[in-house]
Amino acid sequence: MAERKVRSQSLLNGALVLVVATVLVKIIGALFKIPLSMLIGEVGRGYFNTAYDIYTPLYSISMAGLPIAVSRMVAQERSLGHLRDVRMIRRVAIRIFLITGAIGTGLMFLIAYPYCKFIIGTPDNVYCMFAIAPSIFFCCCMSTYRGYYEGMQNMVPTAVSQVIEALSKLFIGLGLTYVFIHYQLSAFDSGKPVLGTVYATKDEALAAIYPYAAATAILGVTIGTVLGLIFLFIRHRVVGDGITKLDLKNSPAPEKSQVIAKTLIMTALPMAASSLVLNITNLIDTATIQNRLAYAIRKAPEVIYNMYGTQIAASGVTKSQVAKYLFGVYCETLDFKNLVPTITMTLGISAIPIISAAWAQHDSRTIKTTVESAIRVTMLISLPIGFGLAAVAYPLLNLFYPAASASIGSSILATYGFTIFLFAVSSPITNMLQALGRMDIPLKALCAGAFVKIALNYILISQPSININGAPVGSIVCYVIVVSINIISIIRITGVKINFMSVFIRPFICSVASALAAFLSFKVFNTLLGSLGNPEKMINGSSISLIIAVITAVVIYVLALLLLKALSKDDLEMLPKGEKIAKVLEKHGFLG
């Protein structure tokens, strides 16, 4: 029982380190993306996100599932006391990562122009792609350290390097973008050429500036990867990995580097294929959304302008940029939608070394405990936040973005909010299957879901009356398929008996109560305070009402959890100081 508790604690303690870092990164990301949208608008965000969508699959090819493979192999060998193998795994991984990183960066440079010119039809996107290409190499180098330390169940190096990346993106990326736009607009105001051309109107000048401005923002991302790598390199040199010379002396001779390299690659390939399918699907998703949006606008422009004419006029978007504008609004909603899955993903990352070590030692109890805890905690986090996003979608978007964009994006964000638990639980379940050595199952599930997603995108978005609102539907159906296949598989393999009442039903009821509280309290307080302040400023009656609604929702959620006894004693005991909290709540009858 003691061993079970130690292992369980390492799951949430490791996850907490990454959660704190992830929350910081997301806050910094919001401080980056929200002002960035104000600087470059929805059109510029379209350029920015399109570059990311081609970068991500190439990054996945370069990484080829290696960080997870390194983490899994290091955890297994460490649990068996094969510490010289642990060191050898790292040395082999460095060589592989250097090669794949260089190839990935080269591919990005090679395909940038053909992709922008012939596939998405916006050649100006090439500047963003050139700016982000070198980051593939530096990310691969960073992942050598991250995968290694995660396998050692030390999440601190990964967490700190992520924060360094985010801060660099914020200050360097935004700073470069602001200076560039300010300089070009000053030239326009003075009647001078903007990027070599004299423009008659400011809107025309901005249309020319946006591709380059987005590229300067992305350049900050690339510089952040360099600084993150420098930190990891210095930390490893100074602090080390905790393995002593005596540990190495007492460890058996390691496998040959060729054998480890082969095992590493064979372990990584199924995960690489799964990641590649996901990211290629997202790439096709991006191209399909923009392509079918353009088709819908050509097919029935009057329908689009009847739906969004006021917002398009208010945003100053030219007719040729309407599709890019709607895609940019969609990307803004994804900033909020991706928040929860990014946080819960840390549970999967933390579970990999624990489950891998338990699998190597045939410790079925630890496997079951870890799987149950990861899924239960994911639901406790994702359901209330998702429902809350749906309840206050418009005021939340309007707090950060123009009312025109918020009015279009609010229905999209609400749709994602109600289903965000699917996206949140997908990554931990996938990671746990990978830790169990069943990398093939997530790949098969993803292929099935991706096919349906692309088909639905093609059919729905091309309908002028649906247009961009069809994009979430394909994603949601895709993840229904993926999560269903994966969760059934993990239950079958591990023998975990999930208590659906405690894992799903009680958190669902508490989340509904919380969301209703948020919705009603915002309505009430916005009626009373809505006229206060300048609606163009961030702090006004509406934003104050939103803050009150969020606080109310949190209070109601906590009360509902206690009244319905939705909290588990085992999960609380995994948290720092959790035993004391559990004793108090158990004494008053609040634990299930």
Helix (H) or strand (E) holding 500: helix 500-500
Q: What is the pLDDT of residue 402?
A: 81
CA distances from 99 to 62, 271, 272, 411, 457 (A): 9, 18, 16, 44, 36
* pLDDT beyond 60 at 7: no
* pLDDT beyond 50 at 2: no
Mean pLDDT of 231-237: 93
Mean pLDDT of 100-113: 87
CA distances from 487 to 350, 366, 375 (A): 18, 18, 10
User: Which residue in the block uniquely carries the two structure tokens 């600087």?
Assistant: 39
Phi first, then psi, for residue 120 (nearest 5°) are: -100, -10
- Cβ-count burial 40-56 (b if 16+ within 10 Å, e if not): bbbbbbbbbbbbbbbbb
Q: Say which DSSP state 256 is in.
A: P
452: Cβ–Cβ under 8 A, 6 or more apart, which residues?
474, 477, 478, 481
* pLDDT beyond 90 at 512: yes
Q: What angle do CA 477, 480, 483 make, to 5 degrees?
A: 145
CA-CA-CA-CA dihedral for 359, 364, 366, 370, to nearest 10: 80
* pLDDT beyond 50 at 6: no
Mean pLDDT of 13-27: 75
**What is the Cα–Cα distance from 88 to 492, expressed in whole angstroms?**
34
409-424 per-position pLDDT tens digit: 899 999 999 999 999 9
**What is the Cα–Cα distance from 143 to 491, expressed in whole angstroms?**
30
Return the percentage of the chain with pLDDT > 70, whole number: 90
Mean pLDDT of 304-331: 82
* pLDDT beyond 50 at 21: yes
**What is the Cα–Cα distance from 222 to 490, expressed in whole angstroms?**
37
* pLDDT beyond 50 at 272: yes
Nearest to 149 by CA among 239, 22, 273: 239
List % helix, strand, coil for the chain (3-state, nearest 5): 85, 0, 15
Q: What is the pLDDT of residue 48?
A: 81
pTM: 0.70
Mean pLDDT of 437-461: 88
Give the range with max mean pLDDT: 16-25, 33-42, 512-521: 512-521
**What is the Cα–Cα distance from 15 to 530, expressed in whole angstroms?**
39
Question: How high does pLDDT run on average in the chain?
Answer: 83
Give the range with max mean pLDDT: 24-33, 285-294, 450-459: 450-459
- Do residues 357 and 78 lie in contact, with contact meaning Cβ atoms separated by under 8 Å? yes
Q: What is the pLDDT of residue 571?
A: 63
1: Cβ–Cβ under 8 A, 6 or more apart, which residues?
none
Q: pLDDT tier at 517 (50, 70, 90 boundaries)?
A: very high
Q: What is the pLDDT of residue 588?
A: 65
* pLDDT beyond 60 at 457: yes
Rounded to a whole number, what is the largest CA-CA distance in the chain? 76
Q: What is the pLDDT of residue 72?
A: 81
Q: What angle do CA 67, 73, 75 make, to 5 degrees?
A: 100
Q: What is the pLDDT of residue 516?
A: 93
Q: What is the pLDDT of residue 153?
A: 79
Q: What is the pLDDT of residue 223?
A: 93
Give the range with max mean pLDDT: 181-190, 282-291, 339-348: 181-190
**What is the Cα–Cα distance from 219 to 221, expressed in whole angstroms?**
5
* pLDDT beyond 70 at 372: yes
* pLDDT beyond 90 at 555: yes
377-388 per-position pLDDT tens digit: 888 889 999 999
